[in-house]
């Protein structure tokens, strides 16, 4: 039985345990500074499929199978699967759910989806509705580019503030009991829109949502920056992170080195020419299940706050002149 | 504190109460046989906006405000908003959530979204995470046509098995205590795909998912057709309903007149030339919050099973030759 806490936050009475995690990334992500933390690095972004979309779907499905394999479980041992992605009608998740045959909740929160799934999955566990939950999200650079921007074959020059949609998927398995990091609390984001309409600067659109959720989390749960070893945003990139630092400073918070961002961590942004950094539903999913899950297990981090951010526009809303609504969900995980 | 029941079902220990509902529909839906059950019938499908997409967003936002107004509540009296729609990146729900400023979970389950939101919302309530939840879904014929099929200006002839995406939105407010119909149980659907790839025959693609969820619900919860006055699918249309009747008969169940379908009910399919009937995220939402909520309140129905079905393909997956995965979620509501 859980509890609402403050305006937007939740505290879990029996914190769900992260008993497994797995991820698959594309070639660029494998060549980046976190390469050694990922489970499976693809040589070929098509992953043996006929289209990038079906490759993305396979990445999510195979990550899920791998996360279960690691703990010697089958898909039928899982009560629910919660997932989402960036593609129209979240087809990657739908087709992955078809293959997995687990009762399914489809989600859309753009790049915040991984945290949305982790929050909802934890609520289902702590509410007594599930013994074991599988959750995840994914994105693919090549399917996202042609859907949201230009066909990559066209070779359009990227803006300096643009983020690079990662080719990545990440999945977690939660259980009511067991050994592993625990999901203690969460803060559900509100949609925040400060009027940014430049789709090549999503970091700036998402930073106010991240600030709003972090500040609300501190207030609701009576925590502060000292409560956490690391506060991980996903995926503001360098432009968005700078905006977040400024917004938090205006409210009296200097997080300093504690503030990290999945979109900055996943690439060597200079060497790899990734401009403002990574983005996409798979970025926070792969960086959390790769880097941070290991650091939590090895007790290098005791208390982590994951703040996954999403830009909730579509090409249609942008073409119609609408600004970019953004959201951030926060999840507190302890080792 | 809830309980998992059987393979895919849930029983609520403190069944959430439906304390309010509201809906808005377009001109065709208002002219149909259920016209008198709807709260607000639009004369103009643009709803004073510049685009159909923004009209759809406004329909969801205004339905939400209306549902709260009816019980003299403000948006800040609600803990969470759960919503989804058919548009790419669920922009109708995202922009409605921006206007409502309620902590938000974005969902995608195609035409099953209303039941998905009702299930998840009820779990959050019964799990102790919320005192009051707002949930809903919407669709718009004109935004859906140009996204999924052809621009309506082109005047393409519709297939006889095609369904008509409704212009409709529907919203419910759940509360832990109070007077009104109660959400007692639910069954979370698996993705079912029997290989249908004709996007003009979504009813046939969705019928096996509906059958699977209904049969699983009976088995998991030890119920049978006698347990319900009415079993409402949304939105199989006439072709899909005929397939469902056949599939259930093969398993020994004849639901007869008890089986109703939101997509068939919403239009006079002959007079209105709607072919196989209505569909879209807003169809089950408007028919449930309009017709069935009233019948439950007036005790004309004591026990209702809502089985909302969704076809989870996208134009991209169809163009790539993929078949149509489908899902159905069931929610049991008593008067």
Q: Which one, of A281, A289, A246, A241, lies nearest residue A264 by Cα?
A: A241
Residue B34 CA to residue B40 CA, distance in Å, equals 12
**What is B16-175's CATH topology?**
Peroxisomal Thiolase; Chain A, domain 1 (3.40.47)
For position A150, what pLDDT does the model report?
Answer: 86
Nearest residue of A to residue B85, measured between CA atoms: A89
CA distances to A40, A175, A275, B11 from B1, in Å: 39, 17, 48, 10
Spatial contact of B24 and B63, defined as CB atoms under 8 Å apart: yes
Residues 6 or more apart in contact with residue B167 via CB below 8 angstroms = B25, B26, B27, B28, B29, B42, B45, B56, B59, B139, B140, B141, B142, B280, B282
Nearest residue of B to residue A327, measured between CA atoms: B104
Question: Using a CB-CB distance cutoff of 8 angstroms, which residues of chain A are in contact with residue B97?
Answer: 190-191, 325, 327
Residue A96 CA to residue A159 CA, distance in Å, equals 33
User: Residues of chain B whose pLDDT is less than 50?
Assistant: none
Distance of residue A311 Cα from the nearest chain B Cα, in angstroms: 10
Residue B23 CA to residue B167 CA, distance in Å, equals 11
- DSSP, collapsed to helix, strand or coil, labels residue A218 as helix
Q: What is the DSSP string of A23-73?
A: EEE-HHHHHSTTGGG-SEE-SSTTTTSSSHHHHHHHHHHHHHHHHHHHTT-
Distance of residue A189 Cα from the nearest chain B Cα, in angstroms: 5
For position B275, what pLDDT does the model report?
Answer: 85
Question: Using a CB-CB distance cutoff of 8 angstroms, which residues of chain A are in contact with residue B78?
Answer: none
DSSP conformational letter for B274: -
Nearest residue of A to residue B7, measured between CA atoms: A79
Region(s) of chain A under CATH 3.40.47.40: 3-175, 182-334
Question: Using a CB-CB distance cutoff of 8 angstroms, which residues of chain B are in contact with residue A88?
Answer: 88-89, 314-316
Q: Phi first, then psi: what are they for A133, rounded to 5°?
A: -130, 140
- pTM value is 0.98
Distance of residue A256 Cα from the nearest chain B Cα, in angstroms: 28
Residue A175 CA to residue A189 CA, distance in Å, equals 24
Which pair of structure tokens corresponds to residue A206?
């998402």
Spatial contact of A202 and A185, defined as CB atoms under 8 Å apart: no
Interface test with B, best of A104, A146, A185, A328 (most B CBs within 10 A): A104
For position A1, what pLDDT does the model report?
Answer: 67
Torsion over CA: A25, A30, A33, A39 (sign): positive
CB B86 to CB A89 under 8 A? yes
What is the DSSP pairing of strand A278-279 with strand A303-311?
unpaired
Interface test with A, best of B103, B146, B147 (most A CBs within 10 A): B103
Torsion over CA: A319, A45, A88, B100 (sign): negative
Percent residues over pLDDT 90 in chain A: 88
Distance of residue A33 Cα from the nearest chain B Cα, in angstroms: 31
Distance of residue A89 Cα from the nearest chain B Cα, in angstroms: 6
Whether the pLDDT of residue A188 is over 70: the answer is: yes
Question: Using a CB-CB distance cutoff of 8 angstroms, which residues of chain A are in contact with residue B105?
Answer: 107, 109, 116, 120, 188
CA distances to B17, B168, B175, B294 from B289, in Å: 14, 11, 16, 8
For A265-303, the pLDDT digits (tens) are: 999 977 898 889 999 999 999 999 999 999 999 999 999
| A154 vs A310 pLDDT, higher one | A310
For position A160, what pLDDT does the model report?
Answer: 84
B28's enclosing H/E stretch is helix B27-31
Residue A278 CA to residue A284 CA, distance in Å, equals 9
CA distances to A143, A156, A319, B108, B247 from A146, in Å: 6, 11, 16, 21, 40
ipTM of the complex: 0.97
Nearest residue of B to residue A84, measured between CA atoms: B108
Of A79, A101, A191, the CB nearest to B97: A191
Distance of residue B304 Cα from the nearest chain A Cα, in angstroms: 22
B297's enclosing H/E stretch is helix B293-297
Q: Which CATH class is domain A182-334?
A: alpha beta
For A91-117, the pLDDT digits (tens) are: 999 999 999 999 999 999 999 999 999
Cα–chain center distance at B97 = 18
For A232-260, the pLDDT digits (tens) are: 999 999 999 999 999 999 999 999 999 99
For A31-61, the pLDDT digits (tens) are: 999 999 999 999 999 999 999 999 999 999 9
Interface test with A, best of B3, B87, B191 (most A CBs within 10 A): B191
Region(s) of chain B under CATH 3.40.47.40: 16-175, 182-334
Interface test with A, best of B7, B51, B106, B132 (most A CBs within 10 A): B106
For A324-334, the pLDDT digits (tens) are: 999 999 999 99
For position B1, what pLDDT does the model report?
Answer: 67
**What is A3-175's CATH topology?**
Peroxisomal Thiolase; Chain A, domain 1 (3.40.47)
B93's enclosing H/E stretch is helix B91-100
């Amino acid at each position: 039985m859980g509890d609402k806490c403050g305006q937007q936050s939740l505290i879990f009475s029996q914190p769900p345990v992260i008993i497994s995690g797995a991820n698959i990334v594309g070639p660029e992500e494998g060549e980046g500074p976190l390469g050694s933390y990922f489970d499976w690095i693809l040589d070929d972004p098509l992953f043996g499929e006929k289209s990038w979309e079906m490759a993305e779907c396979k990445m999510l499905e195979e990550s899920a199978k791998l996360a279960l394999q690691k703990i010697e479980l089958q898909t039928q041992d899982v009560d629910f699967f919660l997932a989402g992605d960036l593609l129209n009608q979240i087809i990657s998740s739908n087709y992955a759910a078809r293959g997995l045959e687990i009762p399914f909740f489809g989600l859309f929160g753009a790049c915040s989806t991984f945290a949305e799934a982790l929050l909802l999955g934890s609520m289902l566990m702590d509410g007594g509705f599930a013994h074991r939950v599988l959750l995840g999200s994914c994105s693919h650079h090549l399917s996202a580019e042609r859907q949201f921007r230009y066909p990559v074959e066209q070779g359009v020059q990227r803006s300096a503030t643009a983020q690079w949609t990662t080719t990545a998927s990440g999945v977690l398995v939660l259980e009511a009991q067991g050994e592993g990091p625990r999901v203690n609390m969460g803060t559900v984001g509100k949609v925040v829109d400060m009027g940014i309409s430049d789709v090549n600067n999503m970091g700036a659109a998402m930073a106010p949502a991240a600030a709003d959720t972090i500040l609300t989390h501190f207030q609701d749960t009576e925590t502060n920056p000292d409560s956490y070893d690391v506060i991980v945003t996903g995926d503001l990139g360098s432009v968005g992170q700078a905006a977040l630092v400024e917004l938090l400073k205006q409210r009296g918070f200097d997080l300093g080195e504690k503030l990290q961002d999945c979109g900055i961590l996943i690439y060597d942004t200079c060497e790899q020419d990734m401009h403002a950094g990574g983005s996409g539903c798979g970025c926070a999913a792969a960086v959390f299940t790769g880097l941070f899950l290991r650091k939590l297990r090895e007790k290098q981090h005791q208390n982590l706050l994951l703040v996954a951010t999403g830009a909730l526009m579509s090409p249609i809303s942008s073409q119609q002149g609408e600004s970019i609504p953004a959201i951030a969900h926060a999840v507190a995980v302890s080792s």
